[in-house]
Chains A and B, each alone.
Chain A
Amino acid sequence: MKNFTYYRPLSLEAAVALLDTRWGTTELLAGGTDLLDLQKEYIAQPDKVVSLTFIQDPVFTRIEVPQILPGTKPTVSIGAAVKIADIAEHAELKHLFPALTDAAAQVGGPQIRNMGTLGGNLCQRNRCWYFRDEHVLCLLKGGRRCFAADGENRYHAIFTKGHPCVIVHPSTLAPALIALGASVEVLGPNGKRTIELSKFFQAPTKPDQREHVLAPNEIVVRVLIPVEGLRNASYEVRHKQSYDWPLAQAAVAFRLIGGKATDVRIVLGHVAPTPHVATEAQKVVEGQTITRELAEKAGEAATAGAVPLSQNAYKVHLVKVAVKRALLLASGAQPDWVI
């Protein structure tokens, strides 16, 4: 790891003041589970590391669930510095947003969840092995081409149309949060702004872009989730039960009125450079009663537009399964599959 100067601001404003207007020279450190790996591999070589660990601001460090009364539109606030383990184990969040807490409970292992934060999970870099190899000059590091496009790409994107870099977005919390209609409050030199989470991610194609739309001198302060009484669930297909990245993930949310699903959101993870909203699948489910047959149809529709790479056509099937199972879980059906 290249050495650096370590800063320990005690307020979010002081942290923003330390940030550069360019990427690469200064990095924010929260849980460190991603940044330290990137530094050890010389993918990140910052001169300055700004630690967010000692900022006590409750907006940044706490989960706030307001009292939920009929006729009100309450919003849950989760500080960006909240540990993933604390989201996974929060009783009220489990009740309101099982899509989020189930996804959180499956992030890495216990140690990763005790270290990693919500903000870090949303802002982490992608896991492409070409990107993470110091010796490979890929598109994201200023090179001329994406090596995964026709190389070792079994864990890469299947929604590849229009994407010169075929990474998958690594966050499993993001698809759940997008399905729940969450937004992100960020702080920059000109104050706070709020971004809908569905517009927070971008597919990077060059070194001065990240997987999100934040400016280099902006910090995620908190995530806001409206409490809308949505049924919701997340389902991940993975090689191993624990400590593994999903091969495909589906997060769903909908309102159930008179047995019919409305306001349907279906968001896929680990199949595209950003969390992928499955518009066609949403149309299939909208206004319908969720049955096994309908869930299967939605799964088929979710793969519309998929153009898999040489080694990952298998993911197309996994998307169908993930969407079907997430819909069934959210509708309250007992899982009939063996894990």
Chain B
Amino acid sequence: MSQTHPPPGKPGISRRQFLTGTGLGAAATALLRTSEAPTQANQAQAPKTVGFGPNPVACELLVNGARITVHIEPRVTLLDCLRHYMDITGPKRVCDRGTCGACTVLLDGRPIYACTMLALEAQGKKIETPESLYEDGQLHRVPAAFVQYDAQQCGFCTPGFVMAMKACFDRNPNATPAEVEQGLAGNICRCGTYQQMRDALRSLCKKGG
């Protein structure tokens, strides 16, 4: 593939257009045709660094094992890209300032705030959202423990807490409750269900993650 400028004035896909599609797969396939994503390989051959945007550019992300391409303006955050362009609404938009943790996703296995990263910056990285925690009719043990111990009230913060907690156990299956609690320091629950979350994580620590 040779280096090309992004398509001039190509509009990004709106949430409404997206939702009227027949499903994620169909929508993504349709979008793939429009233009190339600004990949690293493209740029390496370019003598001069080519800019992307301000008009929408193609952006391919690897989300929960699926490659999805959308057209977005460079200013679109990973969170807004997931929610508004890919209809992946597990990560929640609460503070949108990298403070509350409701938008937590895993980037190459590490918890990050999706609201405080440009979608274009997440290209080439493995993104895991709360949607990845339900596979083949089986709920991942972390959210299952949240259900068992009633560790949520309004539920807005829950997806972020679940992802942050999962990251702790992925990293160290023998993590102690104190270590897991430290791993949750970047998340906040306004309802104050911390005690129930403590109960949930203790039960998971006992099982060795």
Question: Which residues of A approach B to under 8 Å, CB–CB?
Answer: 1-10, 14, 17-18, 29, 32-33, 36-37, 39-40, 48-49, 51, 53-54, 85, 108-112, 114-115, 241-243
Contact = CB atoms under 8 A, between A and B. Distances in A.
A242 to B, nearest CB: 4
B52 A110 contact: no
B112 A243 contact: no
Contacts, number: 111
A114 B98 contact: no
Nearest to B186: A109
Given A37-B97, A37-B116, A111-B113, A10 B44 contact: yes
A19 to B, nearest CB: 11
Interface in B166-185: 167, 182-183, 185
Interface of B: 38, 40, 43-44, 49-54, 57, 73-75, 77, 96-99, 101, 104, 107, 110-113, 116-118, 120-121, 164, 167, 182-183, 185-188
Given A4-B54, A7-B51, A8-B49, A53 B98 contact: no
Contact of A114 (B43, B111, B187): B111
A110 B164 contact: yes
Q: Which of B38, B49, B188 has the most CB of A within 10 A?
A: B49
A114 B99 CA distance: 14
B121 A111 contact: no
Contact of B185 (A10, A40, A110): A110
Given A1-B75, A5-B51, A36-B98, A111 B186 contact: yes
B110 A6 contact: no
30 contacts: A1-B75, A3-B54, A3-B73, A4-B53, A4-B75, A5-B54, A6-B53, A7-B49, A7-B51, A8-B43, A10-B49, A17-B49, A29-B118, A29-B121, A32-B116, A32-B121, A33-B116, A36-B77, A36-B116, A40-B96, A51-B120, A51-B121, A53-B121, A109-B101, A109-B186, A109-B187, A111-B164, A242-B186, A243-B186, A243-B188
A161 B164 CA distance: 44
Given A49-B118, A108-B186, 9 more contacts: A3-B74, A5-B74, A8-B38, A10-B49, A33-B116, A112-B113, A114-B111, A115-B116, A243-B99
B98 A243 contact: no
A4 B76 CA distance: 10
B31 to A, nearest CB: 19
Q: Which of B50, B74, B77, B164 has the most CB of A within 10 A?
A: B74
A29 B122 CA distance: 13
B58 to A, nearest CB: 13
Q: Which of B50, B98, B183 has the most CB of A within 10 A?
A: B98
A37 to B, nearest CB: 6
Contacts of B77: 36
Nearest to B40: A54
B86 to A, nearest CB: 19
